[in-house]
Amino acid sequence: MLKFILPGPLIPASRGEVWPKPQHQDALDDGFFTLLPSFFQFNSVGTTCTILNEALLRYRNLILFNSRRIKEIYFKVRTCYESSDSNFLGYLTSFEIDLTGPCSDEELPSLEMIEEYELTLSSSTRKLSSSTIWGILRGLETFSQLIYLTEDHSCHRVESTHIHDYPRFAHRGLLLDTSRHYHSKDNIFKLLDAMSYHKLNVFHWHITDDYSFPYVSKTFPQLSEKGAFHPTLWVYDQNFVKEVQKYAQRRGIRVMVEFDTPGHTLSWGLGQPDLLTACYDVPQLEWGPINPTRNSTYAFMFKLLDEIKSVFKDKYTHLGGDEVDFSCWKSNPEVNQFMVENGIEGDYVALQSYYIQKIINYVDSLNMSTVVWEEVFTNGVTLPKSTVVHVWISTNPKTTLNQVTEAGHPAILSSYWYLDQLNTGGDWLKFYNADPHDFPGTDEQKSLVIGGEACMWSEVVDDNNLESRIWPRASVAAEKFWSPPDSIKTEMEELWPIASRLQEQTCRMN
């Protein structure tokens, strides 16, 4: 707590603190180096590849740009002179990068990727090492954050330190809804950059919904021609999808696409007129969810899924399955006759399960791994053990996590990190007071929780306010997914250290 108030920010930013907090960090030598940005170089001594070379150039430019911008635009240029300080360990003009394992430019980040790295800055060693390119990427981000300005803004210092770091959870995601509002290429790329600054590694692309179908399908081009907000300006063609996947891969980020069905599909019906269920005497509804009773529905879905598998390269595809409104199914004579004939009369949950089961079975035959929203599990669909259940309903996530993992399914948690729900005065503390392991399960069950996601639904978010709604609130979720819970808990007892570090991370992003 503040004992007194001085002019300036309420919470001064820390200096050279890493976000998210590393698993292990120890100070060495009680000293510091001074980095000379214009002379600084990375020295690659291990395996090399284009991904690594691009990353070294990117981070060197980031360090150079930030130093010049801060010193030349905001402050007077001052000469850096450190030699009179007894803790001065020398000028840092190079830093060794040792990738000890193989590196392929075609390798994709995956759920199984290793992101562990070791970083040492001491009088004898100035080195970042990892067995994987993904670990090197995380370590480069850490190194860039260790650099800070002295109080007179003349010198760029780096404290002597040793860091051994790795993520707490393998799946650390951010969902972006690009249907309710269209988000531009520039903003999606900026989002991926910001994700890399937080060591987030899954871009969950909720690409379609009721409001628009911006994905350009080569198999069914009429879906975007009729279902997008604009058929050429506000769409994502397959060249752009390829660009996004490459941009993300270069930053160690997976792109997991979601095509949500059978609900959230009104925009689909414009380009595929026989797909949706006609409503009879349902107020304000003419069309409902996908009609699960027609063979043509599955012929269409299977062809679309074939294309999705060929275009989106991640092992996992999100199939949705949430929030299905049964009112149109209840009103439709064709649907109800089908249910009578199949022995599920009046059981609309069973009808949804019938549809999802067919989709799951087909996707399984394609050797694709799937993620589904929690309703698919709670409605009793028979899922392959590998299917990941995405827990999102906030009323009782602990019970759902317990049930999902008790059944042997991997789980992702999002219930506590819905970025579209904004509280006045900030809600980052609320985001900290939640944890993916906070449920009454065994250690074996908790090992099935592979991580979590923060969700940015776009009902009231477009290109103009996307960044300000996501950051720095999602920074907290990123730290919950990466950092050791005990150290975060200790900082939370005082609040000041964690608030100060969050302020510095916000300044970095700005």
**Helix, strand, coil tally for the chain in percent (to 5):** 35, 20, 45
- For residues 162 and 18, the answer to whether their CB atoms sit within 8 Å is no
E strand or H helix at 287? strand 287-290
Cα torsion angle, 400, 406, 412, 413, sign: positive
Question: What are the structural domains of the chain?
Answer: 24-165 (3.30.379.10), 171-509 (3.20.20.80)
Mean pLDDT within 62-77: 62
- For residues 501 and 473, the answer to whether their CB atoms sit within 8 Å is no
pLDDT computed for residue 492 by the predictor: 78
Lowest mean pLDDT among 148-162, 171-185, 304-318: 148-162
Mean pLDDT within 380-397: 94
Interval 191-230: pLDDT, tens: 999 999 999 999 999 999 999 999 999 999 999 999 999 9
pLDDT computed for residue 10 by the predictor: 82
pLDDT computed for residue 66 by the predictor: 64
Mean pLDDT within 17-37: 93
Interval 457-499: pLDDT, tens: 999 999 999 999 999 999 999 999 999 998 888 887 778 889 9
Interval 430-443: pLDDT, tens: 899 999 999 999 99
What percentage of residues in the chain have a pLDDT greater than 70?
Answer: 96
Catalytic residue among 323, 341, 345, 494: 323
pLDDT computed for residue 220 by the predictor: 98
Task: Establish whether 323 is a catalytic residue.
Answer: yes
Query: For 23-27, which contacts have Cβ atoms below 8 Å and span 24 or more sequence positions?
Result: 23/164, 23/165, 23/166, 23/168, 23/483, 23/484, 24/163, 24/164, 24/165, 25/161, 25/162, 25/163, 25/165, 26/161, 26/162, 26/163, 27/159, 27/160, 27/161
Mean pLDDT within 439-459: 97
pLDDT of residue 449 exceeding 90, the answer is: yes
Residue 67 pLDDT level (bands cut at 50, 70, 90): low
pLDDT computed for residue 415 by the predictor: 97
Mean pLDDT within 406-426: 92
pLDDT computed for residue 496 by the predictor: 85
pLDDT computed for residue 487 by the predictor: 81
pLDDT computed for residue 8 by the predictor: 80
Residue 4 pLDDT level (bands cut at 50, 70, 90): low
pLDDT computed for residue 106 by the predictor: 95
Q: Decide the pairing of beta strands 369-373 and 388-391.
A: parallel
Average pLDDT for the chain: 93
Buried/exposed 145-155: b ≥16 CB within 10 Å, e otherwise: bbbbbbeeebb
Compute CA distances 332 → 279, 289, 433, 465, whole Å: 6, 12, 45, 41
Length of the chain: 510
pLDDT computed for residue 284 by the predictor: 87
pLDDT of residue 148 exceeding 70, the answer is: yes
- Dihedral class, residue 321 (left if φ above 0, else alpha if ψ from -120 to 50, else beta): left
Q: What's the whole-model pTM score?
A: 0.95
Interval 285-330: pLDDT, tens: 899 999 999 999 999 999 999 999 999 999 999 999 999 999 999 9
User: Which of 305, 304, 262 lies closest to 287 in space, CA to CA?
Assistant: 262
- For residues 153 and 173, the answer to whether their CB atoms sit within 8 Å is no
Buried/exposed 329-363: b ≥16 CB within 10 Å, e otherwise: bbbbeebbebbeeeeeeeebebbbbbbbbebbeeb
What is the C-alpha separation between 77 and 80, in angstroms, rounded? Answer: 9
Mean pLDDT within 251-259: 98
pLDDT computed for residue 68 by the predictor: 57
